[in-house]
Amino acid sequence: MGQGSERLMEHIAGLSDIDLLRMVSFDYAQYRSEAITYAKAEIAKRGVNTNSVDLINLSNVEISHPFIVWKRRTSQFSAMIIRTRAYALFFLTGGFVFALLNILSYRRMINAPVLLDHGVMSFGFPLEWYSYGGYVGMTYIHWWKLVADIIAGLFICLLFGWLFRSLVEKIRFHVESA
């Protein structure tokens, strides 16, 4: 038996029952077959009753070192804040852009020269949902186009928020990994 095998056996012998069971039951793909064999032998040597262990809860056992727990919670909390702030910021930015495009469409309509007395003017982005003018000066709101514009606006907001959040997460990943 080589020196590496002896060190492996000593290491496995130093593991807790829970770590051994997790190693054999869930994380076996991460280990060499030799390590799994030693772990099974250690479980048998200790006489661990595998029937009394709740394997469902065993898979969710967390590392309880205070620094690791603090680090994990801090990174989860900061990631949540960055995701929600980035998403909310650019969701609102998308709404602002959509409203600005509708306002610019309205200003374009007002500033356009009327060539005929019975000309009809309209505005809206992306669909023209408001019309006025004509010979009798009627005003008409195209409700289905207005609903479609609102849906398009929400889509633009969702898209802006998602794209920017994805960008922030990629930048954050590359900064943290460096």
Q: Please tell me the pTM assigned to this model.
A: 0.46
Q: Are residues 25 and 85 in the same domain?
A: no
DSSP-derived secondary structure letter, 113: P
34: Cβ–Cβ under 8 A, 6 or more apart, which residues? Answer: 5, 8
Q: Are residues 171 and 109 in the same domain?
A: yes
Q: Are residues 70 and 153 in the same domain?
A: yes
Of 50-59, 79-88, 111-120, 138-147, minimum mean pLDDT range: 50-59
Burial track 80-110 (b if 16+ CB lie within 10 A, e otherwise):
eeebeebbeebbeebbeebeeebeebbeebe
56-70, 109-123, 131-145: range with highest mean pLDDT: 131-145
Q: Give the model confidence (pLDDT) of 61-91 as tens digits.
A: 455 667 667 777 777 766 666 667 777 788 7
State the Cα–Cα distance between residues 98 and 91, nearest whole angstrom: 11
State the Cα–Cα distance between residues 121 and 108, nearest whole angstrom: 10
- What letter represents residue 159's amino acid? L
For helices 66-111 and 143-177, angle between their N-to-C axes, nearest 10 degrees:
140
Q: Give the model confidence (pLDDT) of 19-28 as tens digits.
A: 888 788 777 6
Q: Model confidence at 176, in pLDDT bands (50, 70, 90)?
A: low
Arithmetic mean of pLDDT over the chain: 76
**Token couple for 39:** 């772990």
What SS3 state is found at 123? strand
Of 28-42, 83-97, 106-120, 144-158, minimum mean pLDDT range: 106-120
154: Cβ–Cβ under 8 A, 6 or more apart, which residues? Answer: none
User: How large a percentage of the chain has pLDDT more than 90?
Assistant: 1
Domain that holds residue 43: 3-58
Q: Are residues 52 and 73 in the same domain?
A: no
Q: Are residues 93 and 168 in the same domain?
A: yes
123 forms beta bridges with 130
Residue 54: the pLDDT is 56
Residue 61: the pLDDT is 47
Q: Are residues 32 and 71 in the same domain?
A: no
Residue with the bigger pLDDT between 61 and 173: it is 173
- What letter represents residue 105's amino acid? S
**41 has a pLDDT exceeding 70:** yes
**55 has a pLDDT exceeding 70:** no
Longest dimension (CA), the chain: 102
Q: Are residues 86 and 54 in the same domain?
A: no
Q: Are residues 52 and 113 in the same domain?
A: no
Pair 164, 87: CB distance under 8 Å: yes
Q: Are residues 115 and 172 in the same domain?
A: yes
Q: Are residues 49 and 26 in the same domain?
A: yes
Q: Are residues 77 and 35 in the same domain?
A: no
Pair 126, 152: CB distance under 8 Å: yes
Number of domains in the chain: 2
Q: Are residues 171 and 97 in the same domain?
A: yes
Residue 129: the pLDDT is 83
